[in-house]
Every structure is written in structure tokens, then in C-alpha cells.
């Protein structure tokens, strides 16, 4: 039986937050080789992580738009001091939005079959995605821009 958590603290080991669409839990957290099942939605966990990282979600969004000019699907610096950055795979308001943690991504490759692409993490784990290779690579680039903007501002 799966252990279901009421909440989860995003950390340096978090790879991805996937929506679950289950009655008992809303998110599947990929952390290293482990999976956690959490009652909160991926966006709720991102918002909580942003607060724990020093600023609220809306403030981080506003800051990234100001620094980079990005207006949609804005990557969020969860905790820049710990190098924790996450990007949404679609609009965060969409129920099927996944959050991928930038520093764990090794490669994004096209997929044949039902899914359009595969995100491969540095630990060897993979997650199959409905988004195209182009969209995910663009989100990686946007996250790099956010990281660069904050690094230059220090």
C-alpha cells in the first residue's frame, strides 16, 4: 500500500512533481529513486516551497518577468541559494501541469508512441511527457535565463 503524505517539502533531491488525479492524493513526487504520494497539488507544493525559499510564488513570478521578459510558463526560483529552480511544462493553471527541477535534468529526447518526449534525469530516471521536445527545451532555456538573471544580480 502507498504511503500518502499530507504535504511534502521540496528539496535539493526533488526531480519532478507530477499531477496524480487520484482521490487519495494529488501529486506524485519524484525524488531520486523514490516516489512520494501527496495530498496537495503540484502548484500548492511549488507555492509552499517558494515561501520556504524566501519569497512568495507571485513575487518570484513578478521578479522573473521583470528580469527576463518571460510572461507565460514562468520558471520559478524555488531557492536560488540552494540552486533549486523548477519550470512548469504547461500553464501552471492547467491541472495536467508537471513541474520539472532544472538542475536534475540530464537530457530531453523525443519519444515514439503515445508520448511526445522523455525527460531523463541525471540519476537515470525518466519521465514520459505529452509536451514536445521543443517546448521542454524552451522551458529549460527559460529556466537558465532566470538563473543567469539572478546570478548576475548578486
Which is it for strands 76-79 and 105-110: parallel, antiparallel or unpaired? unpaired
**pLDDT given for residue 2 in this prediction:** 81
**pLDDT given for residue 136 in this prediction:** 97
pLDDT in tens, 52-97: 999 999 999 999 999 999 999 999 999 999 999 999 999 999 999 9
Contact 93, 76 (CB under 8 A): no
112-131: b (≥16 Cβ within 10 Å) or e: eeeebbbbebeeebebebeb
* Mean of pLDDT values over 101-108: 97
pLDDT in tens, 16-56: 999 999 999 999 999 988 999 999 999 999 999 999 999 99
Amino acid at each position: 500500500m502507498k504511503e500518502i503524505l499530507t504535504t511534502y517539502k521540496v528539496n535539493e533531491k526533488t526531480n519532478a512533481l507530477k499531477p496524480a488525479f487520484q482521490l487519495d492524493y494529488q501529486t506524485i513526487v519524484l525524488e531520486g529513486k523514490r516516489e512520494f504520494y501527496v495530498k496537495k497539488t503540484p502548484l500548492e507544493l511549488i507555492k509552499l516551497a517558494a515561501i520556504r525559499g524566501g519569497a512568495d510564488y507571485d513575487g518570484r513570478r513578478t521578479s522573473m518577468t521583470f528580469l527576463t521578459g518571460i510572461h507565460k510558463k514562468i520558471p520559478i526560483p524555488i531557492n536560488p541559494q540552494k540552486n533549486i529552480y523548477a519550470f512548469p511544462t504547461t500553464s501552471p493553471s492547467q491541472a495536467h501541469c508537471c513541474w520539472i527541477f532544472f538542475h536534475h535534468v540530464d537530457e530531453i529526447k523525443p519519444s515514439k508512441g503515445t508520448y511526445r518526449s522523455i525527460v531523463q534525469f541525471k540519476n537515470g530516471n525518466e519521465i514520459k511527457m505529452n509536451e514536445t521536445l521543443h517546448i521542454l527545451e524552451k522551458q529549460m532555456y527559460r529556466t537558465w535565463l532566470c538563473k543567469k538573471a539572478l546570478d548576475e544580480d548578486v
